Amino acid sequence: MGEALARAGPRAGLIKAAIQFEHGDEVIVMADRVLMSKILDNLLNNVLTYGDRPPTIRVEARRDSDQVATS
């Protein structure tokens, strides 16, 4: 997740968007790394393209029992 946020950082800076990343305990996700990167890149790109100006992006990763929840 941190890599996707880092890739979005320069573009966010251009439009003065705020990116906040909140995480509690370490969260381990077993998933295809390339596919997850594409999904996160697309979500961040959509917010930066179509969100309010300037958008505030809040990414949260937390462990909720045996599942990972993001918002």
- Are 27 and 68 in contact by the 8 Å Cβ rule? The answer is yes
pLDDT of residue 3: 86
Q: How far apart are CA 33 and CA 10, in angstroms?
A: 22
pLDDT of residue 42: 93
pLDDT of residue 67: 54
pLDDT of residue 57: 87
For 2-70, CATH number?
3.30.565.10
pTM over 0.85: no
Pairing outcome for strands 67-70 and 18-23? unpaired
The helix (H) or strand (E) run that includes residue 7 is: helix 2-14
pLDDT of residue 65: 62
Chunked mean pLDDT (size 10), the chain, 71 residues = 87 90 75 90 91 84 62 50
